[in-house]
Amino acid sequence: MLVKFGNEMELGLIKYTINFGTIVFTIVLLSGCLPLGPAKPGQAPNSIQRSTILSANDRGITIEHSTWGKPIAFETADKHCASKGLQAVYQGASQQYSPDVISTWVCE
């Protein structure tokens, strides 16, 4: 269907509005969806840089984290063990069938 406009100015304004809207939508989408890289020390976890405590006790801590949430997980383990006057010693990680891993530390 062909739409007839009253003059060329209206048509130009509509094209400009559609193009401007597309550009704004793309910028908003990319700024909200693109990660900024690995987490920095002291940064709070988010949907991309994930870190969740699965288990914690006086002897150690187990944390599930994304690759980019690894710095947050290490900092969390350090704080947990330091609160007991001990040092966190990394024991390793187990790969899951997801982008996240489960890492374990003991407090010594």
**40-72 as b/e, with b when 16 or more CB fall inside 10 Å?**
eeeeebeebbbbbeeebeeebbbbbbbebbbbb
**pLDDT, tens digit (0-9, with 9 covering 90-100), for 53-94:** 999 999 999 999 988 889 999 999 999 999 999 999 999 998
Cβ–Cβ < 8 Å for 94, 81: no
Terminal C-alpha separation, the chain: 75
51-107 adopts what CATH topology? Gyrase A; domain 2 (3.30.1360)
> Full-prediction pTM beyond 0.75?
no
Cβ–Cβ < 8 Å for 92, 104: yes
**pLDDT, tens digit (0-9, with 9 covering 90-100), for 8-47:** 555 555 565 667 667 767 666 555 555 566 777 777 777 7
Quick one: tokens of 29?
Answer: 């989408």
Residue 56's pLDDT is 97
Distance CA 84, CA 59 (A): 9
